[in-house]
Structure 1
Amino acid sequence: MMDLHCHTFASDGQYTATEIVAMAKSIGLTALSITDHDTIDALDEGAQAAKQANIQFIPGIEINALGKNVHVLGYNVDYKSDTALQICENNKQLRQKRAELIFAFLKQRAIHLTWKDIDKYALHKIYARPHFARAMLEHKYVGSIKEAFDKYLDTPEFRQIKEPRPTVEEAIVMIKQMQGIPVLAHPMQQGKAYAELDTFIIPLKKLGLAGIECYHSENTPQDTELSLALAQKHSLLITGGSDFHGEKVKPDIKLGSGINNNLDFHDDKLLALLCQPHH
């Protein structure tokens, strides 16, 4: 079994890379990719821990692009290159600007948080909504992480914020510059109909999009079916992952098995392709 989508403490997850590898080992995963948002900070630690645990490790990243849940996963990125470091530094600065906009949005709604409140959860300063949600919960503005999202951080009003982010095309190019393999994450979460996604993918494939994440914890069986149809139609790789963040961030999602064991993904051919050494 493999899990090609999870997040550590370096972005908005709850656990360190070492802890996630230990979890992967305990549930019998044979391959793992850490795909933190906009950062490669956990990959070195993850690679070392995976080597000791005898788990095949694919260094990854997830770049958040403009648009609702438009994320691009990058697999087998050359995370030690200056290019990768520079791209992540630029994206980190964009996240800082975005965080300032989120503070202002919450302040207008009588939620007064400080950088100190957020930094407690975002040690690597890759600011993301779960950090705000956890701080809101701690300061009793909400009763759960879900409430923070439902009432504030995942609303039509919140989506009006003009977020400083790369376009999906730029995200694909960034991953290619990092020598990585670009894969469109959880396409059904974009809220687009099949025909719209079908059209959306055509120019992205020309730019170098190589795959679609068809298996994902939050997919319905129909979502998976439609994702597979898209991948097959456009001759794209089929990948899968839980999107595990930890129970304090995404309570329903378990590493390797998703929600209520709805994830059971393994593909040796894909693994061989994702693990090819860089030339």
Structure 2
Amino acid sequence: MNIDLHSHSRQSDGVLSPAELAARAHANGVDWWALSDHDETSGLAEAAQAASDLGLGFIPGVEISVTFCEKTVHILGLQIDPGNRDLSAGLAAIRRSRFERAGQMADRLADCGIPNALEGALRHVDNPDLISRVHFARHLLEQEHVKSLQQAFDRYLGDGKRAFVPIQWVSLEQALGWIRAAGGKAVIAHPGRYKYTPQQHDALFQVFKDLGGQGVEVITGAHTPAQSKRYAKLAAAYGFQASRGSDFHAPGVGRVDLGAMPDLPEGLVPVWQDWI
């Protein structure tokens, strides 16, 4: 089966509505699909209804922002109950931090000669509480301050750049606690993206396992083939289940479309084995 358990709608930093994402997944031959917006579950009801109407299997998800060893890590919560109070309250606190950070980024962009960036970024957001660096990047591209989204990060928004504002997200322990409370399964998203030393990288996997984390994203649009092989081996070594997700945000953006990834390598236990 074609299973894609990582995608984003306009409820966070994607460009399609949850229903449009469901339609695209169905058209691309996806059999089971998860919506996993950043720190937000408000699109899940629409996504579930659209998937049901299409005969598309649906897994409710969320992608939680975590700080570990002073860097941002994303943890997927899959097969969650979006109405869980612990999860809802925790995500609301993260969203408040996001908006405060956005104001600081706008101030720094103004110092770079780019005024009114917050207002411009908000034009690209359905949910102001979920404003992110991607929305600022879209504004900078729209106003021709940069020639691509990547250049916006390389010049202004990336870690350590002129408009970058660090933020202290929740702890790994908090995020996994919320996911467990919501009946879900915790998965490390796109581990190949995190710029850790080998020791920090191993610490992430070990602490995640010790806290009850169950899965790692092996096949994802953010991984090269070499990285997928590496994390397949690490999943087996740590006893993690393996997940597969495009991390789709928008048509024509990123390496792959919804559902357009290789299969999981043989010998791994899929994270969806209990659900499908």
For normalisation by structure 2, the TM-score amounts to 0.90
In structure 2, the residue matched to 1:20 is 21
Residue aligned with 2:272, SS:
helix
Residue aligned with 1:94, SS:
helix
The alpha-carbon deviation at position 26 of structure 1 amounts to 0.8
The alpha-carbon deviation at position 159 of structure 1 amounts to 9.0
Give the letter aligned to residue 92 of structure 2: E
In structure 1, the residue matched to 2:206 is 202
The alpha-carbon deviation at position 85 of structure 1 amounts to 2.4
CA distance in structure 1 between the aligned counterparts of 2:84 and 2:138, rounded to whole angstroms: 33
CA distance in structure 1 between the aligned counterparts of 2:223 and 2:52, rounded to whole angstroms: 31
Give the letter aligned to residue 29 of structure 1: V
In structure 2, the residue matched to 1:40 is 41
Give the letter aligned to residue 219 of structure 1: H
In structure 2, the residue matched to 1:263 is 262
Decide whether the 8 Å contact of 2:137 with 2:149 is kept in 1: yes
The alpha-carbon deviation at position 69 of structure 1 amounts to 4.6
CA distance in structure 2 between the aligned counterparts of 1:159 and 1:76, rounded to whole angstroms: 36
**Gap change, CA 1:180 and 1:159, over 3 Å in 2:** farther
Give the letter aligned to residue 273 of structure 1: D
For normalisation by structure 1, the TM-score amounts to 0.89
> How large is the Cα RMSD of the aligned pairs?
2.2
**Gap change, CA 1:30 and 1:194, over 3 Å in 2:** farther
Decide whether the 8 Å contact of 1:183 with 1:210 is kept in 2: yes
The alpha-carbon deviation at position 89 of structure 1 amounts to 1.3
Residue aligned with 1:271, SS:
coil
Give the letter aligned to residue 138 of structure 1: E
User: Percent of pairs identical after alignment?
Assistant: 29
Range 166-175 or range 122-131, more displaced: 166-175
Say whether residues 1:87 and 2:87 are aligned partners. no
Residue aligned with 1:33, SS:
strand
How many residues are aligned here? Answer: 270
Give the letter aligned to residue 64 of structure 2: I
The alpha-carbon deviation at position 106 of structure 1 amounts to 1.6
5 Å matches for 1:130-145? 130-145=134-149
In structure 2, the residue matched to 1:212 is 216
Of the three residues 167, 182, 193, the one matched with 1:178 is: 182
The alpha-carbon deviation at position 158 of structure 1 amounts to 5.6
CA distance in structure 1 between the aligned counterparts of 2:209 and 2:179, rounded to whole angstroms: 13
**Gap change, CA 1:230 and 1:159, over 3 Å in 2:** farther
Decide whether the 8 Å contact of 1:217 with 1:263 is kept in 2: no
Structure 2 unaligned runs (5+)? none
In structure 1, the residue matched to 2:30 is 29
CA distance in structure 2 between the aligned counterparts of 1:252 and 1:270, rounded to whole angstroms: 23
**Gap change, CA 1:167 and 1:218, over 3 Å in 2:** same
Deviations 1:68-121 (A, max 9, x none): 451100001110233332222111101111212211222222222343322211
CA distance in structure 2 between the aligned counterparts of 1:50 and 1:236, rounded to whole angstroms: 28
Say whether residues 1:102 and 2:105 are aligned partners. yes
Say whether residues 1:247 and 2:256 are aligned partners. no
